[in-house]
Structure formats: structure tokens, C-alpha cells
Structure 1
Amino acid sequence: MSSEHLVVVAVATAKAGQEAQLKDRLEGVARASWEEPGVVTYAVHDLIDRPGEFMMVEVYASREAFDAHLETGHVKSLIADLENLVEGELVVHQALAADFSSGSKGSL
């Protein structure tokens, strides 16, 4: 992974009764995102110790690729529906790979 890659980790907690709907929407966004040229990795995970919470781990070739991702129809549609699907705020962290993370086991 290049130090120019932008890593985004987001966590969403489904509203009660919306767990399956949120998971389906997140998986749909992931699949659509795989088609974007600047997306290196986009994966959705079920949090083991927190049913109904999902963690997205995303790697973009650059900040510009992430910005382009935010402008896609599938992301804008999801963002518009977050109020109905997510309890509280979507928690999003952005990071750049540390220099020592360039080894085969130090990168995503």
C-alpha cells in the first residue's frame, strides 16, 4: 500500500428492525464501489461483539478517488437514507498508511 492511499474505516449501527436492510444497502454500495477505478479495497464486516453494527474498511488510491466515490449515485443514495437506517451518527475515520506499513503484512 502506498503512503498516498487513503484508508477509511466507518462504523454504522442499525436502527432496531433495520439490521438486514442496512446490511443489504452496505453490501450493495460495496459491490458498486468495486467498479470505481480509484477503489483499492472496499469490504463490509459484521462486528462480532455488537450485532447490528457494521464496519466498512475502504482503501482509495488517493484523496481524489475518495472524493469521487462520495459523488457517486450509490453513495449519495445511501447517505440520503442513513437517517432511516442508522442509529446515531455514522462514525468515520480517515488515515494514511504509516511508513512502516509498506511490508507485505503491514498493508491491507
Structure 2
Amino acid sequence: MINEPFLSTAILKAKEGQKTALKKALLDLIPPTRNEPGCLYYILFEDKNKEGTFYMREAFKDKAAFEYHIETVHFKNFATQMDILLSEPIQLVEMVQVSDIE
């Protein structure tokens, strides 16, 4: 469906010694991303059992809104730091909601 929400979880793993810097960079992305017109939510989690592994749960009104997000100045600024901060490329898991919230 063309106008369905774009739901995903980005998995980001910090390089050795870069956990704090990665966490700060991800936290810095949240306010401007949440202010994007197509952002429904943008929430950061850290894995309690895998130090330095973060999950960004994100929802945009549609795929076009997500594509807008990855072209923003704030996301591109983050992207310039990825080689320093990440131990591997971002893994983006696209999802489709199959149950009700309640």
C-alpha cells in the first residue's frame, strides 16, 4: 500500500570505546527528527544484554517521509560520523504491524 506508515527498527552497534559518543549522537538526532512533518515517533533503546547496541524504533507517515528524513541535514551530519562510531553498517529492519496495540 502506497500510503501505509513506514515502520522500522535501526540496529546500531558501537565500535569499541565509542558507546558514549554513539549514544550522544543518537540522542542528538531525536529532537530534530521528531520535528520533521512526517515523523510519527522516534525512540532510542539500548540493549541491556549487549553493551553498545542501540535500537532506534521509528515510524514515519509513509516511505516518502522516511526518505525525507535520511536526506535532512541532521541525519547527514550523523552519517558523516558512522565510520568512527559504528562497528558495522546500520541494520534497518522494516516492519508491518499485524496486531492491534491493545
Structure 2: gaps of 5 or more residues: none
Counterpart amino acid of residue 28 in structure 1: D
Residues 5 and 97, structure 1, Cα contact 8 Å, conserved in 2: no
The CA distance in 2 between the partners of 1:29 and 1:46, in whole Å, is 15
CA RMSD of aligned residues (A): 1.3
Scaled by the length of structure 1, the TM-score of the pair is 0.86
Which residue of structure 2 lines up, in the alignment, with residue 27 of structure 1? 27
Amino acid at match of 2:101: S
Q: Give ranges in structure 1 of 5+ residues lacking alignment.
A: none
Structure 2 letter corresponding to 1:104 = I
Report whether the alignment pairs 1:104 with 2:101.
yes
Structure 1 outlier segments of 4+, above 4 Å:
none
Shift of 1:34: 0.7
Partner SS state of residue 75, structure 1: helix
Distance 2:21 2:96 in 1: 31
DSSP-derived class of the 1:4 partner: coil
Structure 2 residue matching 1:59: 3-state secondary structure: strand
Q: Report how far residue 94 of structure 1 moved.
A: 1.3
| Match of residue 95 from structure 2 | 95
